[in-house]
Amino acid sequence: MKKIILLLVFTFTAFTSTFAQRFAFVDSDYILKHIPEYTAVQKQIAALSEQWQKEVDGRFQEIDRLYKSYDADQVLMTADMKKRREAEISDKEKAVKDFQRQKFGPEGELAKKSNALIKPIQERMTKAIQAVAESDNLDMIFDKNSEVIMLYANPRYDKSADVITRLGLKPGVFAR
């Protein structure tokens, strides 16, 4: 009888440990703050964005001046002159909006530049996360900043510092 109970306990233990999975999480924002290249890329992208935004703002100011000039001169214009000025203003507005979409749209130059510069950094981070998972024999690692809702996470399962170390950097004291 004792042998049967012992066998059942052993089987149950082996069965449950087979399905036991090990989880951890990382804070990708925290990790990225430790990567100097990422900070440099963010500054570069912000400068480019600011430059293009100034250009867009300047073009919209020019259109605003054209509108004001049109309003002031409208009384003295013929119907044909009004149509030409309205068409000119409309064409310039369309050109500015196209420029804005070309630079800032989802498929715009800023998004492409950002992806091109950030992708290698993200790939390095992903490889480091995979290496930490393999070395710690983890089944899954979640990102604290992703769409997965994490209502509670025990800090002992936070592998962010390990990933930073794996990247060859030193974990610092950044606010989380």
Q: Where are the domains of the chain?
A: 22-166
pTM of the model: 0.68
- Long-range contact list for 108-115, CB < 8 A, 24+ apart? 109/52, 110/45, 110/48, 110/49, 110/52, 113/45, 113/48, 114/41, 114/45
CATH code reported for the domain at 22-166: 3.30.910.20
pLDDT at 35: 93
Q: Which segments of the chain have a pLDDT < 70?
A: 1-21, 148-153, 173-176
Nearest partner of 31 among 170, 130, 155, 135, judged by Cα = 170
Q: Using CA atoms, how far apart are residues 55 and 151, in angstroms rounded to an integer?
A: 44
**Per-residue CA distances from 166 to 13, 15, 21, 144, 174 (Å):** 34, 34, 23, 19, 18
**Per-residue CA distances from 99 to 89, 94, 127 (Å):** 15, 9, 37
pLDDT at 57: 96
pLDDT at 150: 59
- Supply 174's token pair: 């950044």
pLDDT at 148: 65
Q: Are 131 and 137 in contact (CB under 8 A)?
A: no
